[in-house]
Chains A and B, each alone.
Chain A
């Protein structure tokens, strides 16, 4: 079966660094996405990893280890506007164009 696990909720302080973990067990793996979703809004793309290692994009970085079925999203210099849900998603290569999503991690940034 296909499974993606992420913590349900996290809380962090403005200005700090937070790491959101994602583990996956899937039959077939093409790459891993991270999306941000503010309450009541559509998910928006943050990052995509296909090779092992760290991808940095401004305050956000994403890491992938394919052998461990593990990824994390790192958010630096947290701002109040970073309060949102963060969705981990895996693109499968089992035929077709399926991408499956984890349940998401709700991040609360406090002052």
Chain B
């Protein structure tokens, strides 16, 4: 059974903290993605990576960075968490551009 695993289902962090969200996939996929999902806005792409150590900005990269040191792991970093980053964060991976994406269960982050 293919799997994308996110390290936490729920997180509560304080404003200004540095936050790490981890994602691991076991399908040997080249591409990995980080989205945030907010009511009425759908999924918005933060960053994606098509190879180890490669990253591309998505539509809303401000306030975020990413790291991909190994093929199976893609980390999202909130450099200094703010309340407007309270959201559901979804990690996904796929084999290629026009193939289905497999999603993790999501991390609901609350910044207080």
Contact = CB atoms under 8 A, between A and B. Distances in A.
Interface in A48-91: 48, 50, 87, 89, 91
Interface stretch (B13-21, B67-75, B79-87, B96-104): B96-104
B interface secondary structure, majority: strand
Q: Which of A31, A48, A97 has the most chain B CB atoms closer than 10 A to its own CB?
A: A97
A96 B33 CA distance: 12
B31 A97 contact: yes
Given A42-B105, A96-B56, A91 B98 contact: yes
> Range of interface residues on chain A?
20 to 34
Contacts of A35: 101
A46 B50 CA distance: 23
B24 interface: no
A11 interface: no
Contacts of A18: none
Given A98-B45, A100-B59, A42 B106 contact: yes
A91 B43 contact: no
Interface residues of B, number: 27
A25 interface: no
| 8 shortest interchain CB distances as A-B pairs | A45-B100, A103-B42, A42-B103, A101-B43, A101-B42, A97-B97, A43-B103, A31-B98
Given A43-B103, A99-B45, 4 more contacts: A42-B4, A48-B98, A87-B43, A103-B42
30 contacts: A4-B42, A30-B97, A30-B98, A31-B98, A41-B105, A42-B104, A42-B105, A42-B106, A43-B43, A43-B90, A43-B101, A44-B103, A45-B100, A48-B98, A87-B42, A87-B43, A89-B43, A96-B56, A97-B94, A97-B97, A98-B58, A99-B33, A99-B45, A100-B45, A100-B59, A101-B35, A101-B43, A102-B42, A103-B41, A104-B42
